[in-house]
Amino acid sequence: MSILPLRDKNGVVTHFAAIERDVTESKERELELDEMSRHDALSDLLNRRAFDQLLEDAFAKFQDTGEVFSVLAIDIDHFKSVNDQYGHHCGDQAICKVAEICKKVFNTSGSVGRTGGEEFSILIPNKDASGAALMAEHLRRNIEAASVITEKGAIRITTSIGVSEVVISDTKPLDLMLRADKALYTAKHNGRNQVREFEPETSICDLA
Ligand SMILES: Nc1nc2c(ncn2[C@@H]2O[C@H](COP(=O)(O)OP(=O)(O)OP(=O)(O)O)[C@@H](O)[C@H]2O)c(=O)[nH]1
């Protein structure tokens, strides 16, 4: 609201005029645009940028308070053949189904992002890797049991999931994301449709 003094011909203020402008609509539009810039248009999950920001925040909190958290790196198995067999549109429907199940399973217990084409990441506060792996296994089973209903029929899909927790020697969030990716790679390499926790490779020094 702005208030303007109104003067008579001698310059003496005789009245004040109040001008009120309703900014509700523009504020709502601003919030809407902000939400849009943080979400992926296809799945409505957090986009990579927004997920990375959450990860930065969780990492800063861990450094301040020691509050542990874990991440999941999730990738749909053999997704190229889903696209090849059913077409890109049905592939998109499969991505949306995985997004929907992730949101349902992690509801208030984690933040879900679509961080690549057929890749998802989940940040789970207050959980170490073994707690996060149990949740990941629940998610994997839900996805495996679901059908993606498309105009070309029902599609069944599976996912591979890598799990890692933040540790004191991490210097940046990327460190634990890389471990989750390594665990994901192990899950793929070992036959897919499984959850793997990151395990440090046993080096010669460890054996000595
Ligand atoms: N429909 C659809 N496909 C996508 C999207 N983003 C990426 N892809 C496809 O996802 C596929 C990923 O394939 P690859 O990385 O080769 O892996 P994959 O076939 O899933 O095999 P594995 O990961 O080894 O199990 C590619 O064919 C991409 O074109 C998207 O937004 N929509």
DSSP string covering 124-158, please? Answer: EET--HHHHHHHHHHHHHHHHH--EEETTEEE---
The answer to whether the CB of 79 is under 6 A from ligand 1 is yes
* pTM of the complete model: 0.86
Q: Whose CA is nearest to atom 21 of ligand 1?
A: 78
In a domain, 26, yes or no: no
- Distance (Å, rounded) from C-alpha 200 to C-alpha 189? 16
SS3 172: coil
Given a cut of 60, whether residue 98 has pLDDT beyond it is: yes
Mean pLDDT of 50-65: 98
In a domain, 12, yes or no: no
Query: Does the annotation mark 118 as catalytic?
Result: yes
Counting from 1 in the atom list of ligand 1, the atom nearest the Cα of 42 is 31
CA of 117 to the centre of ligand 1 (A): 6
In a domain, 36, yes or no: no
What integer best gives the mean pLDDT of the chain?
93
CA of 74 to the centre of ligand 1 (A): 12
* pLDDT tens, residue by residue, 133-180: 999 999 999 999 999 999 999 999 999 999 999 999 999 999 999 999
In a domain, 38, yes or no: no
Asked if residues 196 and 181 have their Cβ atoms less than 8 Å apart, the reply is no
Residue 128's CATH number: 3.30.70.270
Q: Is 124 exposed, middle or buried (0-12, 13-18, 19+ CB in 10 A)?
A: buried
- Distance (Å, rounded) from C-alpha 205 to C-alpha 208? 5
Domain tally for the chain?
1
In a domain, 102, yes or no: yes
At 103, is the pLDDT very low, low, confident or very high (cuts 50, 70, 90)? very high
The answer to whether the CB of 197 is under 6 A from ligand 1 is no
Domain span at residue 196? 44-207
DSSP 143: H
In a domain, 103, yes or no: yes
Q: Kindly state the tokens that stand for 177.
A: 């994301």
Mean pLDDT of 54-76: 98
Mutation to probe ligand 1, out of 43, 74, 83 (largest number of atoms < 8 A from CB): 83
Pick from 103, 112, 163, 117: nearest CA to 137: 163
In a domain, 57, yes or no: yes
Pick from 37, 58, 77: nearest CA to 189: 77
Position 206 scores a pLDDT of 44
Q: Whose CA is nearest to atom 14 of ligand 1?
A: 80
In a domain, 77, yes or no: yes
Position 3 scores a pLDDT of 85
Q: Which of 20, 32, 100, 118 is catalytic?
A: 118
